[in-house]
């Protein structure tokens, strides 16, 4: 078993194509509120688990770092996250960057989606825009997207 073999299995999955590449010019990073959005299916222990084809999102609070990996795929190493949440969800690192003044601030709430999706229309038409609205409502400027 090898990481390269797993990657090769998924390397050529059909990608969603966008006619145009949207592009938002950010505020200066030193003024930006930064959130993390991960496709690692993280959630808090008391939240609803992700179902196999779950296209929704879960809110991850900065305050409670008891994140659980709810991903259905067996095709990734989980021990990195088990040792250190920042391997997937670098919330402690963002706190340090905010304390240093490198970034403006860290969002109090972040988002997790389930990355093991083959049918993306629901995310594209529904939960994706809803997640963006959620982040905009808390004045997020910059989103760091992390896979698993």
Q: Considering the rule CB under 8 A, would residue 101 count as an interface residue with other proteins?
A: no
Between residue 3 and residue 62, which ones bind other proteins under the rule CB under 8 A? 3-7, 9-13, 15-16, 18, 21-26, 29, 32, 37, 39, 45, 49, 52
User: Which three-class secondary structure state does DSSP give residue 54?
Assistant: coil
Contact pick of 59, 97, 98, 122 for other proteins (by CB under 8 A)? 97
Contact pick of 54, 60, 88, 107 for other proteins (by CB under 8 A)? 88
Integer Cα distance of 88 and 36 in angstroms: 10
DSSP 76-130: S--HHHHH-GGGT--HHHHHHHHHHTSSSEE-SEEEEEB---S--HHIIIIIHHH
Pairing relation of β-strands 68-69 and 42-43? antiparallel
**Identity of the residue, 96 or 108, whose beta carbon is nearer to other proteins in the bound complex:** 96
Q: Considering the rule CB under 8 A, would residue 118 count as an interface residue with other proteins?
A: no
Kindly state the smallest distance separating residue 129's Cβ from other proteins, in Å.
Answer: 6
């Amino acid at each position: 078993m090898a990481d390269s073999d797993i990657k090769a299995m998924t390397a050529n999955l059909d990608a969603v194509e966008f006619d145009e590449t949207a592009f938002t010019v950010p505020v200066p990073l030193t003024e930006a509120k930064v959130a993390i959005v991960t496709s690692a299916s993280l959630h808090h222990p008391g939240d609803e688990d992700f179902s196999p084809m779950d296209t929704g999102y879960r809110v991850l609070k900065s305050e409670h770092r008891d994140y659980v990996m709810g991903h259905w795929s067996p095709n990734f190493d989980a021990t990195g996250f088990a040792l250190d949440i920042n391997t997937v969800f670098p919330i402690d690192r963002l706190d340090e960057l905010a304390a240093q003044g490198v970034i403006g601030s860290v969002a109090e709430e972040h988002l997790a989606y389930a990355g093991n999706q083959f049918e993306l229309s629901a995310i594209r038409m529904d939960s994706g825009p809803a997640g963006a609205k959620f982040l905009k409502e808390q004045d997020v400027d910059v989103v760091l997207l992390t896979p698993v």
